[in-house]
Structure 1
Amino acid sequence: MVVGAGPTGLTAAIELAGRGISVCVIDSLAAPRTESRALAVWPRTRDVLTSLQVLDDVQQDSDLFLDQVAYELGDARSVSIKLPTDTMAQILPQPVLEQALIERLGDLAVSVHWGTRLVDVVQHPDGVSVTMSSPGQNEHEACVKFIIGADGASSSVRSLLGISYVGHTIPASFHLADCTLQGFPNDNVFRNFVSQAGYVAICPLPDGGHRIFARSEHTDSRTEMSPAEMLKRAGLSSVGVRSTEWTSDFRIHERVSETFRQGNVFLAGDAAHTHSPAGGQGIQTGIGDAHNLSWKLSTVLRGIALPSLLDSYETERRPVAQAVIDRSSVQAKLWDTSTPWKRRRNSFAFRAANQLGVVRARLIPALLGYADAYPPSPAQSSRSKQFLHQRHRSPAFKTNLQLVAEGSWSPEEIAEIGRLQARHELLGDNVMQISDPVPRTRRGIVCVRPDGYAAFRVGDLVNLERGLDQIIRSWANPRLLRG
């Protein structure tokens, strides 16, 4: 069962259903949200959505990609960062993405049970008993093997399990408005205004409108700020507001769940961690959780892998979530312009980070999602560093590992790799070969997981056999050994 039909829960449901796992999706809302909370879809998330055959459906709804980030620092200085094509974030309103995910889920004969609230969760040795409440119905029960709680920062799943949500609330209020502006550039630039008046950001939207985001030092989230006032703070009093589609005033929390798993119940997305919107990492981190967990659950449910594989979910995803919280926290601190020294600090930090290449070398790769490195876990060899194998894109809904031979290998060596691969059903049925136009000075064999990450990389057949032995001993079902 998946609780929560946002991007995280829908991704998990599609991944499971696509692998032949029966899945039920419930959401307490009566219908999908219409307001757009998250916007940014970074390249790694686009890879996942492409593998799920979702991205083509939304491409026609948004071909807006941010190609530049600009900072006006309020001291007659500015910083502008041009983004290469392969690093651009796509601006994709959350309702558009969710609708595409819902339709893809429907293609797999699964629908969302809207207006269904989770009332109680009781775990037992064979799974989980859940009590649900739906409009016009009495409370009803069901038994499921696993639950994925993807029901947001106010997660009912986390609350029912009594899991603490550890962290703090930023002592400031934040304001958001989706507007149609008059007299403001309609381009692909994300603009930040940092001055004595406060922090304001303006992001273009696919429909030609703009999202305005501002910080104020009030700690009451009920404090409102009009779009005109936000523009004034940015020094844009001459810009007019033709219409306002949506506004929101809120607080920002930086929290992480005490645990991502309790028995057969897992937490993912905002239910497991929440952070500042700085960097636009919300959708990416949640979909990353779903992508990591779903192939492991399906492999266990199909009996290919042992339940010990599931221990790797929190081991791998907690450091990623914490890194996002830490990184976005630093960025959010630069929104604080409440004192002169903080404004001087912010101005220096923006300019220094750009001049020293920190933004391009460290921040942008982290935002893209390709820099995440998982620590050793049951799904990851301790003998090699975890890395995303970008040159191989696994087909959608794979459940086994894939051996990829990079560089030049003889037919006899490829046959031996195939023999080693054929030892267990967990491993793929064929060896993929990748040859470079320029021959490599060092050959390699990469064991690629269904989520596109490398379980390990070795340089010869002896170490390949050792690596496969370690995986088979760690979490492959011994009953499926071949030969």
Structure 2
Amino acid sequence: MSAADVVIVGAGPTGLALGVDLARRGVDALVVEKADGLFPGSRGKGIQPRTMEVLEDLGVLDAILAAGGPYPVGMIWQDGERAGEHRMFDPAEVKEAAGDSAFTEPWMVPQWRTQEILFTRLKELGGRVDFGREVVALDQDDTGVTVRFASGPDLRAGYVVAADGGRSAVRRALGIDMTGETVDPNPVLVCDVRITGLDRDNWHVFPPSGEGDGFLAICPLAGTEDFQLVAQFPEGTEVDLSLDGIRKVAAARSHLAPEDITEVRWASDFRPRAALADRFRSGRVFLAGDAAHVHSPAGGQGLNTSVQDAYNLGWKLGAVLRDGADPALLDSYEEERRPIAAQMLGISTGVHRGEVRRGAATVQLGLGYRESSLTQDTRDAVGTVRAGDRAPDGTVEGVRLFDAFRGPHWTLVALGVAAPGLPESVRVVRGSAQEPYGKGLFLVRPDGYVGWAGNSAAGLGEYVARFGSHTVS
């Protein structure tokens, strides 16, 4: 029986991002995927500013920027004529919410391309994906997990992460239920198509034109020759995913002729729903991404929340498996991520129903872990960065903070306070007090959140002792 430190089930954005994070930490992780290749469709195409920061840290930012582009302005069509522009979000509001971030708006990259980029990065780091490996059962004991497949040899792992989507076979094998609701009973067609006679400068929206009709939206996919076509149907409709079926829908709801759609590259249908797993962990098995929370695609929260699940779990698995941290550290994954997922589910459902506008609520830069058991703040400063917050970017004595944070290490930011002696594995940035941090010591976690903050080093040693021998002594 072959073995790995971690087996990640599912080669979507969540599983690949986690694989990249673990590979750069020297953790022996294997990604297994039921399909014979990567997912071929656009599906989650919006990358929010906070996720862009994560992807920069994982070493794929340049490729992501080259592969995508900004969101186009929406164009409303009526009776074959342009009726006016519609913006999917308020750029000024998003820019204000972005604050110190280098990323001031969502970036469009079709999901299949994001996966290719992460897959390439994983291979660069020596990681691998085994395709055609369908998980059918798990057996746990005190020392690890045996993963059983429909064919091929079993695997033995210290931990398993289920990143195998909303219909997660691993979650079902664990007997973990999901609690949720149907956001919209009307089925939705989503497909990637090639179209002639339609410009790529706008996101084309065709409102319902009659009783029983649903909307049609056609969005040019940045960095490709494809469009993503989305159409809503009345409840109970059997959606036709064929080229002829998609041509008929487009022709009936827009000025396009059937032959203007020349090719269907991928097609699917779904019923928008929101659901949250009752638990994100069972023993040595963790749920991440859609296996743990299923979103409406409205507002672009699903993929982003999922990648950030991986980013939260990756450093903790690395600390336990490589740095000798107490395995109890892994309890904080569910503690920190499940409330965030619940919050994002509420936002995506609100956007779908027109109750929440895309903007400050959807860029995910204001999320944090102030209530986490990993968070400790001994300062009495008000109105500045607190432990649990995302550590803001900025420049200290000529050093860009995000450049200092980049990598699998911890970082101590010492502003107006002397830094204690630390091992070489901890990066230290020293400077005078400055906003928005104020004055003090700020120990930044590997995932870019302030774990500990204080006016002096008192208590710092006790805090970091929880995370293993390679952080701070």
Same-fold call, TM cutoff 0.5:
yes
The alpha carbon displacement at 1:79 in A equals 4.7
The alpha carbon displacement at 1:185 in A equals 3.3
**1:429 is matched with which residue?**
426
- 1:292 pairs with 2:312: yes
Superposition pairs of residues 178-257 of structure 1, within 5 angstroms? 178-187=192-201, 189-195=202-208, 197-205=213-221, 206-220=223-237, 222=239, 226-230=246-250, 232-233=252-253, 236=255, 241-245=260-264, 246-257=266-277
Give the counterpart of 1:454 among 446, 450, 457.
450
Give the counterpart of 1:44 among 50, 63, 83.
50
Contact 2:276/2:342 (CA < 8 Å) preserved in 1?
yes
The alpha carbon displacement at 1:4 in A equals 0.7
Give the counterpart of 1:369 among 357, 364, 376.
364
- 1:112 pairs with 2:129: yes
Structure 2's unaligned 5+ residue stretches are 1-6, 96-102, 379-385, 394-400
Cα distance change on mapping 1:229 and 1:435 into 2, 3 Å: farther
Cα distance change on mapping 1:226 and 1:50 into 2, 3 Å: same
1:289 aligned counterpart, secondary structure: helix
Structure richer in helix, relative to its length: 1
Between the two proteins, the alignment pairs up a number of residues equal to 431
Cα distance change on mapping 1:164 and 1:302 into 2, 3 Å: same
Identity %: 30
CA deviation string 1:230-271 (max 9, x = no partner): 4644x5458973423233222222111110001110000001
Contact 2:162/2:291 (CA < 8 Å) preserved in 1?
yes
Give the counterpart of 2:163 among 146, 150, 159.
150
The aligned amino acid for 1:114 is: F
Contact 2:250/2:258 (CA < 8 Å) preserved in 1?
no
The alpha carbon displacement at 1:318 in A equals 0.9
CA distance in 2, matches of 1:63, 1:92: 5
Contact 1:6/1:150 (CA < 8 Å) preserved in 2?
yes
Moved more, 65-74 or 242-251: 65-74
Cα distance change on mapping 1:385 and 1:21 into 2, 3 Å: closer
Q: What TM-score, normalized to structure 1?
A: 0.80
Contact 2:372/2:388 (CA < 8 Å) preserved in 1?
no
1:364 aligned counterpart, secondary structure: coil
CA distance in 2, matches of 1:83, 1:58: 21
1:452 aligned counterpart, secondary structure: coil
**2:398 is matched with which residue?**
none
Cα distance change on mapping 1:47 and 1:198 into 2, 3 Å: same
**1:172 is matched with which residue?**
186
The alpha carbon displacement at 1:404 in A equals 0.8
The alpha carbon displacement at 1:450 in A equals 0.3
2:336 aligned counterpart, secondary structure: helix
Give the counterpart of 2:373 among 360, 370, 378.
378
CA deviation string 1:6-46 (max 9, x = no partner): 11001111111110111111111112222322211222222
**2:330 is matched with which residue?**
310
The alpha carbon displacement at 1:380 in A equals 1.8
**1:281 is matched with which residue?**
301
**2:392 is matched with which residue?**
390
Contact 2:250/2:256 (CA < 8 Å) preserved in 1?
no
2:296 aligned counterpart, secondary structure: coil
Cα distance change on mapping 1:63 and 1:253 into 2, 3 Å: closer
Contact 1:58/1:97 (CA < 8 Å) preserved in 2?
yes
**2:71 is matched with which residue?**
66
The aligned amino acid for 1:268 is: A
Contact 1:221/1:249 (CA < 8 Å) preserved in 2?
no
Cα distance change on mapping 1:478 and 1:104 into 2, 3 Å: closer
The alpha carbon displacement at 1:279 in A equals 1.1
The alpha carbon displacement at 1:207 in A equals 2.3
CA distance in 2, matches of 1:73, 1:54: 41
1:50 aligned counterpart, secondary structure: helix
**1:83 is matched with which residue?**
91
1:212 aligned counterpart, secondary structure: strand
2:412 aligned counterpart, secondary structure: strand
CA distance in 2, matches of 1:435, 1:239: 65
CA distance in 2, matches of 1:480, 1:48: 21
**1:403 is matched with which residue?**
412
The aligned amino acid for 1:471 is: Y
- 1:3 pairs with 2:9: yes
The alpha carbon displacement at 1:452 in A equals 0.7
Contact 2:368/2:449 (CA < 8 Å) preserved in 1?
no
The aligned amino acid for 1:381 is: Q
**1:24 is matched with which residue?**
30
Cα distance change on mapping 1:373 and 1:201 into 2, 3 Å: farther
Cα distance change on mapping 1:283 and 1:122 into 2, 3 Å: same
The alpha carbon displacement at 1:317 in A equals 0.8
The alpha carbon displacement at 1:396 in A equals 4.7
**1:264 is matched with which residue?**
284
Contact 2:377/2:453 (CA < 8 Å) preserved in 1?
no
Cα distance change on mapping 1:223 and 1:243 into 2, 3 Å: closer
CA distance in 2, matches of 1:48, 1:439: 23
1:405 aligned counterpart, secondary structure: strand
1:465 aligned counterpart, secondary structure: coil
Contact 1:175/1:249 (CA < 8 Å) preserved in 2?
yes
CA distance in 1, matches of 2:391, 2:56: 16
Give the counterpart of 1:131 among 148, 166, 176.
148
2:303 aligned counterpart, secondary structure: helix
The alpha carbon displacement at 1:56 in A equals 2.2
CA distance in 2, matches of 1:21, 1:472: 21
Contact 2:10/2:165 (CA < 8 Å) preserved in 1?
yes
CA distance in 1, matches of 2:317, 2:17: 13
Cα distance change on mapping 1:93 and 1:237 into 2, 3 Å: closer
CA distance in 1, matches of 2:50, 2:164: 23
2:260 aligned counterpart, secondary structure: strand
**2:109 is matched with which residue?**
92
Contact 1:212/1:227 (CA < 8 Å) preserved in 2?
no
Q: What TM-score, normalized to structure 2?
A: 0.81
CA distance in 1, matches of 2:450, 2:76: 37
**1:337 is matched with which residue?**
none
CA distance in 2, matches of 1:193, 1:375: 43
Contact 1:309/1:378 (CA < 8 Å) preserved in 2?
no
CA deviation string 1:102-145 (max 9, x = no partner): 121111222211111112211111111222233xx4xx323211
1:145 aligned counterpart, secondary structure: strand
Give the counterpart of 2:347 among 327, 330, 341.
327
1:146 aligned counterpart, secondary structure: strand
CA deviation string 1:388-418 (max 9, x = no partner): 113132555424x311124xx3xxx43xx22
Contact 2:46/2:109 (CA < 8 Å) preserved in 1?
yes
